Chains A and B, each alone.
Chain A
Amino acid sequence: MRAIVRIAAWLYAIAIYGFIFLPVVMLVLFSLQATSFPIPPFTGPSLRWYQAVLSDPRLTSALVNSLLVAVLSSLASVTLGFLSAWGFARFVLPGSALLRGLITLPLTVSYLIIGMGLLVLFNWAGVPKSLIAAGVGHVVINLPLCFAIIYSQMGDHQINIERAARDLGAAEWKVLLMITVPVMAPAIFAGFFLSMTFSWDEFVISFLLTRFDTTLPVEIWNLLRSGLNPKTNAVGSLVFAVSIVLVVFFELTLLRRKPA
């Protein structure tokens, strides 16, 4: 009986792994296709579609744009999120629960609606579509995430640690730089990393708020109009690779260190 359960469990797990990896394997495999259709039979391997991607100035500039937007909007999100989490965790503020609710509210609203709202507002205020507008939208979606992660990690023990530092004569900005930021570093880094990946992948806000200069997901979307194409496979595989590098880096640097 026990053996049957075990075998069934293994078969089930393998089936789910297969389901999860099937599209990714197809994506990467047919990015190496030598001919013009990314469907069986496999005719590669060939790197011609990767060359096509890297020599396409629209895709390469979109890649740079995506990285810029991701890094800058994540920096803004984590800074605003950290400062507000610190303020709410450390001080008794009137209406604190309500204000915290307000900051985390965008988490419950879909990106489409956030993008729509900004589009209507910017349209009304005469703000032109741009990468900066998309970056503003990315901070709206990632700020509550950074806030929630960092706020959840600020326990009473950390509060006492800061009180000890003040008691020993540290000025407020020294407490911040020498105690709070280093102690909270794992949560700050987790917030920054998650914001990076979400911004890097985000499509609909960038789609609504940019025009000529745009991000990689939007540029890939434009490629989709040409139907199935190994070039899309190649750029998709590259995006996938960047995400994997980020995740593995995150896993190795952050999650291995277990604070006592």
Chain B
Amino acid sequence: MSAPLVDIRNVSHRFGQHPVLKNVSLAIEPGSYTILLGPSGSGKTTLLSILGGFVTPSEGKVFIRGEDCTSVPPAKRPTTTVFQDYALFPHMSVGSNVGFGLRMQGVDGATRAAKAREALALVGLAAAFDKKPHQLSGGQRQRVALARALVIEPAVLLLDEPLGALDLKLRRQMQDELKAIQKRVGTAFVHVTHDQEEAMALADHCVVMNDGRIEDEGAPERVYARPKTRFSATFMGESTILAGKAGDSRDGRVTVTTGLGSISLPGRSPADASVALAIRPEHLVLGDVKGDVALGIAKVSDVVFQGSFKRVLAASTQDPALQFIAKAPASAAVRAGDTIAVSCNAGDIILLAD
């Protein structure tokens, strides 16, 4: 296996006394689409700024293509950034904006214009060459910012919440386009967001961050289905969380004692350790059709119709502090106030160290 394109080794950073990154290590493969996902304050934007060269980390190293880039300024490293507010130059035409990076490299005017047109065509804005940024819509500005960053062919493209300023419909549409453009140009993208749907839709490699640490990373399917931590289980999609204590582990199965009784599931854990069991909404079974683990009776507190399904919230009658989050078919006849049996399959339960 060759060295990764980007290798972040043991990076920590503080703003004044306040630590924002705590010993973070991360590898980024060529041609991958990496998403840094986390709530605000998790350190994801600082990590991106360190990658882009706008912030020099307090400790640790950043290697890009095997070279130590830790304190190389933004202009000198093979990264470009697409800023959240796009940062288009308001006094220049769209064409001059896109050609700016090439101009700085000393590329002649004709080549510059040709390449800028090519890049604008790539993002579907060939006609906007002579316009000024303020004549464009938010989505169009986003594309210009993308074209401007891509035209100088960076090894890594950094995107700081690039879809944050767009409305929901445009955001979903731009998501698809971003993915398509990334596949076409083959550049590694690193994209910061707090929107887990965006993360699942775009990422080849999803990095979940919280409180200055990487909580979990991997293919989004894996991170969703088998989150490594409780934070990751609740931030990347919703989960019902059952607190419990591990008993004996034997033959690849472990027995966990919870407020709803003992549950036996695949996995292993040190005996007597505090653990949490996470169950995804779509894995909870409501009503008569029982899974192999019974989770008792619950009283439905709220049903929200979501179009293709119903989101059901129910409180356990045995343990009123326990809130089930379930997904029922759109046709299900469940209503607030109903009392209902809840169950699931042992294989779907995610065992998390607490």
Contact = CB atoms under 8 A, between A and B. Distances in A.
B245 interface: no
B188 interface: no
B134 interface: yes
Given A167-B75, A169-B101, A183 B91 contact: yes
Contacts of B80: 167-168
A168 B90 contact: no
Contacts of B75: 166-171
Contacts of A160: 83-85, 87
A14 B90 CA distance: 42
Given A174-B104, A259-B134, A260-B134, A167 B91 contact: no
Interface in B122-152: 133-134, 148-149, 152
B105 interface: yes
B90 A183 contact: yes
Q: How many residues of B sit at the interface, in one of the four size bands? A: 20 to 34
A192 B90 CA distance: 22
A161 B81 contact: no
B341 to A, nearest CB: 54
Given A169-B75, A170-B104, A174-B104, A164 B87 contact: yes
A128 B90 CA distance: 48
Given A167-B81, A168-B104, A161 B89 contact: yes
B111 to A, nearest CB: 16
Interface in B73-87: 73-75, 79-81, 83-85, 87
A169 B104 contact: yes
B309 interface: no
Contacts of B74: 163, 166-167
B244 interface: no
Nearest to A174: B104
A260 B79 CA distance: 30
A159 to B, nearest CB: 9
A157 interface: yes
Interface centre among B73, B80, B100, B149 (most CB of A within 10 A): B100
A179 B83 contact: no
A226 B83 CA distance: 66
Contacts of A170: 75, 100, 104
A132 interface: no
Interface in A169-224: 169-171, 174, 179, 182-183, 185
A1 B319 CA distance: 68
A97 to B, nearest CB: 15
B38 interface: no
A163 B82 CA distance: 10
A165 interface: yes
A179 B100 CA distance: 11
Nearest to B53: A167
Contacts of A183: 89-91
Contacts of B73: 166
B15 to A, nearest CB: 10
Contacts of A163: 54, 74, 81, 83, 87
B52 interface: yes
Contacts of A157: 85, 87
15 contacts: A157-B87, A160-B84, A161-B88, A161-B90, A163-B54, A163-B83, A164-B148, A166-B74, A167-B54, A167-B80, A169-B101, A169-B105, A174-B104, A179-B89, A260-B134
Given A168-B104, A183-B89, 11 more contacts: A161-B87, A163-B54, A164-B83, A165-B89, A165-B100, A166-B74, A167-B75, A167-B80, A168-B75, A170-B75, A171-B75
